[in-house]
Structure 1
Amino acid sequence: MNQPSTEYGIFPDEVILQILARLPIKSLLRTKRVCKLWYRLVSDRFFIHLYNELSVRNPMVLIEVSESSESRSSLICVDNLRGVSEISLDFIKDRVKVRASCNGLLCCSSIPDKGVYYVCNPMTRQLKLLPRSRERPVTRFHPDGEATLVGLACNLLTQRYSVVLAGYHRSFGHRPGKTFICLVFDSESNKWRKFVSMQDDHFTHMNRNQVVFIHNSLHWMTESGSCVLVLDLNYDIWRKISLPDEVSRGSGNRVYLLESDGHLSVIQISEVWMSIWVLKDYEIEKWEMVDRVSFRCIRGMVPGIFPISQTSEHVFLATHKQVLVYQRNSRVWKEMYSVKNSSTLPLWFSAHNFRSTIFSCR
C-alpha cells in the first residue's frame, strides 16, 4: 500500500490523513463528496488501514433495545469519546437479532426465519445475506432452535471475514449427545464448510455473546468457567486454554471473557472486587493480573453488573438499566447511558463490544 503523496493546501499529507482518520464514519463518507481528490484519498487502502488501526483502539458498547417482540430493535452506541448515539438497522428488511460483533461488522439472525443470517456494517450500511447452508438445518442444534455458539471473525488487514455456527446435534426425539457440529462461512469463497467433533462443555446465553477473535481464532468461555474453548480457523481445530490459577467460580464469583488491546482477558467479579487478567503470552498461556478494582462506590449495582469491553485505559460495564465506564487511570466511575423506559430485559442481555471501522461485508 502506497501512501498518497499529493499535498492539500497548506497542510502536509500526513496531517490531512491523521485528521480524516479521526472523523466519525458518517462524517468521513461525506468528505467523499468534496472533490475527486478527497474521494480517492478516503478510498485508498493505506487510509482504510490507518482509519481502522485507530478505530480498534476505541472499543464501544452496542446495545440492542426493543420496545416489543414485534417491533424492530434499535441500536444504542455508547462511545467513550463521542458519547451516546443511535444506529438504525432499517436497511435490513427483516426483524433481526444481533448475535455477534467483530471489528465493525455484526452477524444478525432473522427472528421470523430460522437459519437466515446476515452480516452488516451498521456504520456504512452495507449488508450481505449469507447463503443457506446445504447441511442439515440449524434447528437441529440444541437447545432453542439456534446454534449454541455464534462467532464472527473479521480480519481488518485482509478485509476477509468468517461466520461460525456450532452446536450439539441431536436426532429428532432424542437428547443431544456430545457430537458438536460446526459450520463456517468464508467470505472469500462465499461458501460454508462443515466439520464434526466431540465436546463435553456447555455454554450459557451470555457466555456465547462474549466471543473474542484474536490470532485468527475464536474464543468462548465454557459454562463451568474452567477453561476457554478455542476454534482455530486456520486448521478447523478446537482446543482449550486454561484460566489463571487464581480465578475461582465459587463463593459468588463470576468470570467473563473479553479482549484487551489485542490480548485475551478474563475478568472476575465478586461482591467487592473486579480482578482483571490478561494473557500476555498466547503461546505458553502466561496470564498476568493487571488490575484489581474496588466496588465500594457502586456496591448496590454489583449483583447485576456485567463487563462488555475494555482497554488498558477503561472498562465498560452494563447493569440492568445502565452502562458505566470505569476509568482505570483515575479510578473514577461514570454513567454513560441509562434506560428511560421500563424495558424488561437487563441491558447486559443484549450488549456487545463494538468498533466503528471501514470494513466491507460484500
Structure 2
Amino acid sequence: MADPPPPTLNGYIPEDIVLEILARLPVKSLLSLRRVCKSWNSIISSPYFIGTHLKYGPRRGYYLLYQTMVAQIHEPSCTVVCDRTYDRISDFELPFVHAGIVGSSNGLLCVEPPYGYLSLWNPSIARFKVLPAPLPAPCLVGGYVSVTYGFTHVSEENDFKIVRISYNEFTTKLPRAQVYTLSSNSWRRIDDPIPLKPNALIYNIGCNHLPCPCIAGALHWIVRSKGSEDDGRDNKKILSFDLRDEKFGEIALPSSYMYHYDEWEYLGLFKGKLASFRFADYRCGIWVMTDYGMAESWTLLRTVEFEPGVIDFLGCTDDSGAVMIARSLREFCTVSFIETEEASHRERILLDGLHHLVFAATFVESLALLDGSESVRI
C-alpha cells in the first residue's frame, strides 16, 4: 500500500494566517517561495500581496549611495549601507548607461537616462519598467526647457507617483506640471496653477540634487526666481504639491538666510520633519519646520562643523539624523556620516575613484513591479 502524500501547510494553518506570515518575510525568501507551488506564486505576484508586503514587510533602515564616474571609466553602481551602523550590505550596477537617479521610494528607484524616457527599477527583484513619454508642454516649446521631478509612493492609494515640472530658465512663462501614476501607466497634465509671481524669471526648481522630500502627503522643491520688483535679489521659497488633491502651495524658507549668495540651500527631511540645510564654510545649519506649514515654526536645530576637504552635502539619514557629506581625499572620494546627536564622526564608506557624483536616499526592499507585465527581467 502506497504511503499517503505529505500534508500541506494549508492543512494546518488557515490561509489568512499563511498570508500574514508571508507578508512579513524578506523579499529574497518570497522569491524562493514562489517556486513552492503555483498558488503561492500567484499570491506573491498579486498586486494585493505586493501592497500588503509594502505595509507589513521588513522595514530595515537601509541607505543607498549611487556613484558614477565623471569620465565614465567604470559603470555606475550603487552601494546599500545600514543606517546607524553604516555597514556595507550589498553592491549592484544600474542596468542603464550614464543614467541618473531621480528618487527612491519603497524599493523603487526612478531613473533618468541622458536619452530616452524615465524608468522605474527595483534592484531587489532585478526588474525595471520603461515609462511612456511625458506629455508635451506647448507653452514652453521653442526654447531650452529644464525639468525637475518628485517621486514617491502614496500609501493611501497604494500607488507610485512621479511629478514632472517643466520650466524655461530664459523666459517668464509659468512652469507646467504633469503627474505619472504607475497604476494607470500614463501621464496627466495638472491644470492647477503654480503659485509663482507673474513676470518672474524662474532659474531653478529643485533640491540641489537631494531627493525631493515627501511629508504630510506632499512633495517639496525650492524655487529660485528673479523679478524686477525684487530689485535683482533672489526670491526663494518652497513649492509644495499635495498628492491627494493635486494642488500646488507655497511655504516660506527661514527668513534669516533668504538672500545669502555665498551659501547653498538644500531641502530634505530631518527625523521626519521638513528641513532646510544651509551649507557653507565647512559647516551646515539644520533648520527644521517643527509645525508643518507654519513658516514661523522654522527653528535652527543645530550647526554641524566639518573638516576641510568637503565637496558636497548629501542629506541626512532617517533614523539617527546623521549628516552625510562627500570628501575628496587624495585619489579617493569618501562618504562620511556625522552623528548630530553625539557630535561623533564616522567615516566608513570608501568609494573608488577620483570624481564621483553621488546620490543618497533611503532604501527598502520590496516586491514592487513583480506583477508588471511590461517589467523586464535583467
Question: Could you tell me which residue of structure 2 aligns to residue 234 of structure 1?
Answer: 244
Cα deviations across residues 213-240 of structure 1 (Å, max 9, x unaligned)? 1222210122357321112233332221
Within the candidate set 87, 91, 98, 1:86 is matched to 91
User: Displacement of 1:306 after TM fit?
Assistant: 0.5
Q: Does 1:310 align with 2:320?
A: no
Aligned-residue CA RMSD in angstroms?
Answer: 3.9
Q: Does 1:123 align with 2:124?
A: yes
In the alignment, the residues of structure 2 paired with residue 359 and residue 30 of structure 1 have an alpha-carbon distance, to the nearest angstrom, of: 9
SS of the counterpart of 2:297?
strand
Within the candidate set 344, 354, 358, 2:362 is matched to 354
Give unmatched runs, 5+ long, in structure 1.
none
Question: Could you tell me which residue of structure 2 aligns to residue 330 of structure 1?
Answer: 342
SS of the counterpart of 2:322?
strand
Q: What one-letter code is carried by the residue in structure 1 that aligns with 2:351?
A: V
User: Displacement of 1:152 after TM fit?
Assistant: 0.8
User: Displacement of 1:262 after TM fit?
Assistant: 3.1
Q: Does 1:167 align with 2:177?
A: no
Moved beyond 6 Å, runs of 4+: 36-42
Structure 2 counterparts to residues 99-114 of structure 1, below 5 A: 99-113=102-116
In the alignment, the residues of structure 1 paired with residue 274 and residue 143 of structure 2 have an alpha-carbon distance, to the nearest angstrom, of: 28
Give the share of equivalent positions with the same residue, in percent: 17
In the alignment, the residues of structure 2 paired with residue 322 and residue 212 of structure 1 have an alpha-carbon distance, to the nearest angstrom, of: 24
Question: Could you tell me which residue of structure 2 aligns to residue 279 of structure 1?
Answer: 289
Asked if the contact 2:239/2:249 (under 8 Å) is kept, the reply is: yes
Within the candidate set 257, 262, 273, 2:267 is matched to 257
The count of corresponding residues between Structure 1 and Structure 2 is 330
Cα deviations across residues 94-129 of structure 1 (Å, max 9, x unaligned)? 65322222333211123233xx11112222223221
TM-score (norm 2): 0.71
In the alignment, the residues of structure 1 paired with residue 282 and residue 112 of structure 2 have an alpha-carbon distance, to the nearest angstrom, of: 37
Q: What one-letter code is carried by the residue in structure 2 that aligns with 1:88?
A: E
Question: Could you tell me which residue of structure 1 aligns to residue 376 of structure 2?
Answer: none
In the alignment, the residues of structure 2 paired with residue 239 and residue 217 of structure 1 have an alpha-carbon distance, to the nearest angstrom, of: 9
In the alignment, the residues of structure 2 paired with residue 73 and residue 119 of structure 1 have an alpha-carbon distance, to the nearest angstrom, of: 16
Cα deviations across residues 72-115 of structure 1 (Å, max 9, x unaligned)? 4222333334623312223x5x65322222333211123233xx
Cα deviations across residues 312-362 of structure 1 (Å, max 9, x unaligned)? 52324232422111123322111132333222xxx4x43131311315143
Question: Could you tell me which residue of structure 1 aligns to residue 7 of structure 2?
Answer: none
Within the candidate set 66, 69, 75, 2:69 is matched to 66
Label 1:204 to 1:183 Cα distance change in 2 as closer, same or farther (>3 A).
closer
Structure 2 counterparts to residues 81-230 of structure 1, below 5 A: 81=85, 83-84=87-88, 85-90=90-95, 96-113=99-116, 116-136=117-137, 140=141, 143=144, 147-156=146-155, 158-169=157-168, 175-195=170-190, 197=193, 199=196, 200=200, 201-203=202-204, 207=208, 209-223=210-224, 224=234, 226-230=236-240
In the alignment, the residues of structure 1 paired with residue 298 and residue 268 of structure 2 have an alpha-carbon distance, to the nearest angstrom, of: 14
Label 1:71 to 1:164 Cα distance change in 2 as closer, same or farther (>3 A).
farther
Asked if the contact 1:140/1:169 (under 8 Å) is kept, the reply is: no
Give unmatched runs, 5+ long, in structure 2.
1-9, 225-233, 328-332, 373-378
SS of the counterpart of 1:49?
helix
Within the candidate set 353, 359, 370, 1:341 is matched to 353
In the alignment, the residues of structure 1 paired with residue 87 and residue 67 of structure 2 have an alpha-carbon distance, to the nearest angstrom, of: 17
Label 1:222 to 1:187 Cα distance change in 2 as closer, same or farther (>3 A).
same
In the alignment, the residues of structure 1 paired with residue 118 and residue 168 of structure 2 have an alpha-carbon distance, to the nearest angstrom, of: 19
In the alignment, the residues of structure 2 paired with residue 255 and residue 99 of structure 1 have an alpha-carbon distance, to the nearest angstrom, of: 18
Asked if the contact 2:315/2:324 (under 8 Å) is kept, the reply is: yes
TM-score (norm 1): 0.74
In the alignment, the residues of structure 2 paired with residue 237 and residue 120 of structure 1 have an alpha-carbon distance, to the nearest angstrom, of: 27
Bigger shift: 239-248 or 133-142? Answer: 133-142
Q: What one-letter code is carried by the residue in structure 1 that aligns with 2:57?
A: Y
Asked if the contact 2:282/2:308 (under 8 Å) is kept, the reply is: no
In the alignment, the residues of structure 2 paired with residue 142 and residue 324 of structure 1 have an alpha-carbon distance, to the nearest angstrom, of: 40
